[in-house]
Structure 1
Amino acid sequence: MTRPLIGVTTSRRSGWRIFPLIALNVWMAGGRSLRWVDGSDADLSRVDGVIIGGGDDISPDLYGGQLVRSARLDPGRDALERRVVQDAFDQDKPVLGICRGSQMLNIALGGTLHQDAYEVYRNSRYIRTILPRKTVHIEPATRLAHVSGTGPMKVNALHSQAVDTLGRGLRVAARDAGGMVQAIERVRDPFAIGVQWHPEHLFYAHRQQGLFRALVSAARARQQHQAQLDRVDHCMD
């Protein structure tokens, strides 16, 4: 059986470091990867699923927010990724959003962000490391709980933004101890999950690998014109 091809968006500046890690995770999960950056011909018809990778803050122009002075923006990438997410949903293709990618998933579906999330969630512990030092609590009866388990999860954290209002068809799948949203998911096909952390750095952790296995399972279902959420649920049992 042909490995599903996953289109992966990254920063033009730093993506050369991150893409090999994501590609490794996708390969371990049974897929293969193609890198897209601002300026790429990101043709959704070529791929079976999408990963929107991490990186710079998303411009508040996309959701009517206020710019903070510390923000580092990449408007060309913003435009690419919003189109990729929207095209993926139009073509019934699954999406995994990583950190910034989770935020873009929310924005593409009409949601908004907290530009400086730690100013809003004062009880959320500020941690900035690729090591698993932050605890997130997974909401019961969610697909994330099915994919990665229900117990508290140790993750890494590099973000400053977080989901404010949810986009259409999304629900919260995890929060930290201070209440800040740490994961979101789509409630119907096509499959989509967004996480605030960077599972690609935690490739040794079975629970993190579940995210990539779920995406590849959904992409394989899309190849075969089958229901994606049903396939994910069956494969993760």
Structure 2
Amino acid sequence: MTRPLIGVTTSRRSGWRIFPLIALNVWMAGGRSVRWVDGADADLSTVDGVIIGGGDDISPDLYGGHLVRSARLDSGRDALERRVVHDAFDLNKPMLGICRGSQMLNVALGGTLHQDAYGVYRDSRYLRTILPRKTVHIAPQTRLAHLAGTEPMKINALHSQAVDGLGRGLRVAARDEGGMIQAIERLRDPFAIGVQWHPEHLFYARRQQGLFRALVSAARARQQNQAQLERVDRDEG
């Protein structure tokens, strides 16, 4: 069986470091990857699924927010990824959003962000590390709970922004100990989950591998014109 092809959006500046790690995780899950950056021909018809990767902050122009001085923006990538999210849903292609990618999934569906998330959630532990030192609590009866269980999960954290108002068709799947949203998911096909952390750095952890396996499983279902969420539930049950 042909490995599903996953399009991965990255920063033009730093993506050369991150893409190989994401590609490794996708390969371990049974897929293969192609890198997309601003200016590239990100043709959704050529892939079976999408990963929106991490990186710079998202411009508040996309959701009616106000710019904070600490923000580091990439308007070209914003435009690329917003189009990719919309095209993926139009073509019924599954998606995994990582950190910035989770935020873009939310914004593209009409949601908003906290630009200074730790200024809002004072009880959330502020960390900037690729090591799993932050704790999140997974909401029961969510797809993330089906994939990773409901035990508290140790994750890494590199973000300053976080989801505020939810986009259309999304629900909260996890929060940290201070109440900040750490994962969101779509309620119907196509499969879509966004996580605020960086599972690609935690490739040795079974619960993190489940995110990439679920994406590849959904992409394979898309190849075969099958229901994606049903396939993920069956394959990862």
Asked if these proteins are the same fold (TM beyond 0.5), I'd say yes
- 1:63 partnered with 2:63: yes
Paired residue for 2:205?
205
Shift of 1:226: 0.2
Provide the C-alpha distance between the structure 2 equivalents of 1:78 and 1:192, rounded to a whole number of angstroms. 19
The residue correspondences of 1:100-179 to structure 2 (distance < 5 A) are 100-179=100-179
Paired residue for 1:31?
31
Over residues 86-120 of structure 1, what are the superposed CA-to-partner deviations in whole Å (9 max), with x where a residue is unaligned? 00000000000000000000001000000100010
Output the amino acid matched with 2:104: M
Paired residue for 1:219?
219
Query: Which ranges of structure 2 fall in alignment gaps of 5 or more residues?
Result: none
Output the amino acid matched with 2:63: Y
Paired residue for 1:47?
47
Shift of 1:150: 1.0
Q: Secondary structure at the match of 1:213?
A: helix
The alignment's TM-score, normalised by the length of structure 2, stands at: 1.00
Over residues 41-60 of structure 1, what are the superposed CA-to-partner deviations in whole Å (9 max), with x where a residue is unaligned? 00000000000000000000
Shift of 1:156: 0.2
Shift of 1:148: 1.2
Provide the C-alpha distance between the structure 1 equivalents of 2:99 and 2:150, rounded to a whole number of angstroms. 20
Q: Secondary structure at the match of 1:111?
A: coil
Provide the C-alpha distance between the structure 2 equivalents of 1:18 and 1:149, rounded to a whole number of angstroms. 27
Q: Secondary structure at the match of 2:194?
A: strand
Output the amino acid matched with 2:147: V
Over residues 28-84 of structure 1, what are the superposed CA-to-partner deviations in whole Å (9 max), with x where a residue is unaligned? 000000000000100000000000000000000000001110000000000000000
Provide the C-alpha distance between the structure 2 equivalents of 1:148 and 1:217, rounded to a whole number of angstroms. 15
Over residues 111-139 of structure 1, what are the superposed CA-to-partner deviations in whole Å (9 max), with x where a residue is unaligned? 00001000100010101100000000000
Output the amino acid matched with 1:183: A
Q: Secondary structure at the match of 2:33?
A: strand
Provide the C-alpha distance between the structure 2 equivalents of 1:213 and 1:151, rounded to a whole number of angstroms. 19
Output the amino acid matched with 1:27: W
Provide the C-alpha distance between the structure 1 equivalents of 2:36 and 2:197, rounded to a whole number of angstroms. 21
Shift of 1:149: 1.3
Percent identity of equivalent pairs:
87
Provide the C-alpha distance between the structure 2 equivalents of 1:169 and 1:56, rounded to a whole number of angstroms. 25
Paired residue for 1:72?
72
- How many residues are matched? 237
Provide the C-alpha distance between the structure 2 equivalents of 1:149 and 1:40, rounded to a whole number of angstroms. 38
- Which runs of at least 4 in structure 1 moved beyond 6 Å after TM superposition? none
Provide the C-alpha distance between the structure 1 equivalents of 2:116 and 2:205, rounded to a whole number of angstroms. 29
Q: Secondary structure at the match of 1:83?
A: helix
Provide the C-alpha distance between the structure 2 equivalents of 1:6 and 1:149, rounded to a whole number of angstroms. 25
Give the RMSD, CA atoms, in angstroms.
0.3
Q: Secondary structure at the match of 2:51?
A: strand
